[in-house]
Amino acid sequence: MGASMKRSSAIYWLTAVLGAGVLVLGLLLVWINIERVDLAYELKQLQTELEQKTNLQAKLEVERMNLLSSSRLRSLAEESELRQARPGQIRTLAP
């Protein structure tokens, strides 16, 4: 009976250790999936933010080009009664 009891005790401990290992691996798998979902959510937020900033940059570039267009600057100069500089009116400063 002693050998049989030792064998059943060993099987019990082996089963307990394997069960604990499976439990730990299961919890690890759940944790990894939660982290994956969190990272996917964060990635989606960053992609949305990047898209919004890219759209804003494109709109600002169009606005900049409109503000700096030669026809607009010419009309603003005429409204302010500005004229093109004559050759003697431009002075270059030495650095």
pLDDT value of position 18 = 95
- Cα(30)–Cα(89) distance, rounded to whole angstroms? 77
- Cα(28)–Cα(11) distance, rounded to whole angstroms? 25
- Cα(55)–Cα(49) distance, rounded to whole angstroms? 10
Residue 93 binned pLDDT confidence (cut-offs 50, 70, 90): confident
pLDDT reading at 1 higher than 60 = no
- Cα(66)–Cα(73) distance, rounded to whole angstroms? 10
Q: What is the pLDDT of the chain when averaged over all its residues? A: 92
| Stretch 58-79: mean pLDDT | 93
Residue 81, sorted as left (phi over 0), alpha (psi -120 to 50) or beta, turns out to be left
Residue 95 binned pLDDT confidence (cut-offs 50, 70, 90): confident
For residue range 69-79, what is the model confidence (pLDDT) as tens digits?
999 988 998 89
